[in-house]
Amino acid sequence: MGVKATTSIYGIFGHPVKHSLSPDMHNSAFNELGLNSVYVAFDIDPENIEEATRAIRVMGIKGINITIPHKQTIIPFLDEVSPDAKLTGAVNTVKNENGKLSGFNTDVGGFLRAIREDLDFTPEGKTLFLIGAGGAARAVLSAFCMNGGAIVHIADIFKDKATELADQFKANFPNIVIEIIEMENQSAISEKFAQADILVNASPAGMDGVGAHDIPLTSLNKKAVVYDLVYKPTNTKLLQDAKELGHKASGGLTMLLYQGAESFEIWTGENAPVEVMRKALGY
């Protein structure tokens, strides 16, 4: 379906954003359902997020996905935020209804469905080692804590950021053990790796053009599963190394699919054509 004067515009805000597969996924869904809509990518410098959010209203953009590094910084410029997004402290989906901007977080449900289907893993009673403390990490931590997780270890190259995240979730989930591990403390990481049931990378490490973390993966509990939110490349160094060591491991394409399907339904009110979207992602 060609772009017309009446075409509804959707998109994604990120920086960088040229790696995003979301345009392929959502445009395939629009085409499948015969919707007069188009989805495009907007590379928004962090210092311009307020102006970009105003542009959603001014230009009548119907919906926007939010990715690194804007998931937290966009929140003050929205009119309302869903309960899940408030708990998470991050927004990955914005809906524009006649100039009113509502923020949601579909990463939480997307992550849960991905680890269940890819890794046959559920959080109840388990121990999580989480790398990263940004918006994506908040979604992972929310999913884990809201679904019976027991112990969480968080490591980030910015210790203050990790501490802030841990303190927030300790206040909301006092019965869950949440502690910070310094990224440079390899012996401490090794000790906590041995206790982990799941290792999740929610940082940009391993993304195309971004170096992978130097972590003692051989110390990881032999029964632990590994999930890397990075989806480009689809088989990151973390996933390669984990599989070579015998761990069940999966990358971020499945989470991308399921969070995208939920965003699509929030925007359009239509059932997302999940299999069409999956095919557009190339798996």
Residues taking part in catalysis: 71
DSSP string, 261-273: HHHHHHHHSSPP-
Integer Cα distance of 252 and 202 in angstroms: 10
Would residue 123 be called left, alpha or beta, if left means φ above 0 and alpha means ψ between -120 and 50 degrees? alpha
DSSP 204: S
183 CB-near residues (< 8 Å, 6+ apart): 155, 156, 157, 189, 213
Integer Cα distance of 283 and 281 in angstroms: 6
Bridge partners (DSSP) of residue 251 are: 228
**Amino acid, res. 152:** V
Integer Cα distance of 167 and 97 in angstroms: 34
